């Protein structure tokens, strides 16, 4: 059985983003076209469908590291903030974006609030991750024969 651990994350996130586009509960808000994804970023994302890619990435990170909350997820999307003449410091990603994405994934039934804190995967969320991983692995095996041994 193929799980989301068996395929590279960059391939899984792209395929999962395409799968999330068909889910009605996951949709970018009106302000998503001009919002920055973190304090250390200078501009908003250049991709028009970045919301689905971030949602897919968050779903995968919850599957791998869950249960996890917005504070720890923001550290996953952190980067160096330019502070002028002072040394750079690490700043976390936008927790508003992450919180809204997690709320949308929760409405869609992919994640649920955990008793330990944060959010974890539901069986429906595990299913979409594993089914997408199976499709990605099948596609990659056709392209790269060296992956068939895994």
Q: How do the pLDDT tens digits run along the chain, 150 residues long?
A: 888 888 999 999 999 999 999 999 999 999 988 888 888 888 888 888 899 999 999 999 999 997 999 999 999 998 999 989 999 999 998 899 999 999 999 999 999 999 888 999 999 999 999 999 999 999 888 877 765 555
**Residue ranges covered by each domain of the chain:** 9-149
Q: Does domain 9-149 have CATH number 1.10.10.10?
A: yes
Instruction: State how far Cα 116 lies from the chain centre.
Output: 21
pLDDT of residue 136: 92
Residues 1, 47: Cα–Cα separation, whole Å? 33
Q: Is the pTM of this model over 0.85?
A: yes
């Amino acid at each position: 059985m193929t799980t989301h651990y068996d395929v590279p994350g960059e391939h899984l996130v792209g395929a999962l983003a395409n799968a999330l586009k068909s889910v009605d509960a996951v949709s970018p808000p009106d302000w998503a076209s001009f919002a920055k994804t973190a304090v250390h970023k200078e501009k908003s994302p250049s991709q028009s469908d970045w919301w689905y890619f971030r949602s897919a990435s968050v779903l995968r990170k919850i599957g791998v590291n869950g249960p996890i909350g917005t504070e720890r997820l923001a550290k996953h999307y952190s980067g160096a903030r330019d502070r002028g003449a002072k040394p750079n410091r690490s700043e976390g990603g936008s927790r508003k974006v992450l919180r809204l994405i997690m709320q949308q994934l929760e409405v869609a039934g992919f994640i649920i609030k955990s008793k330990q804190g944060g959010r974890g995967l539901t069986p429906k969320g595990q299913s979409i991750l594993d089914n997408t991983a199976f499709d990605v692995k099948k596609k990659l095996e056709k392209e790269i024969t060296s992956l068939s041994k895994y």
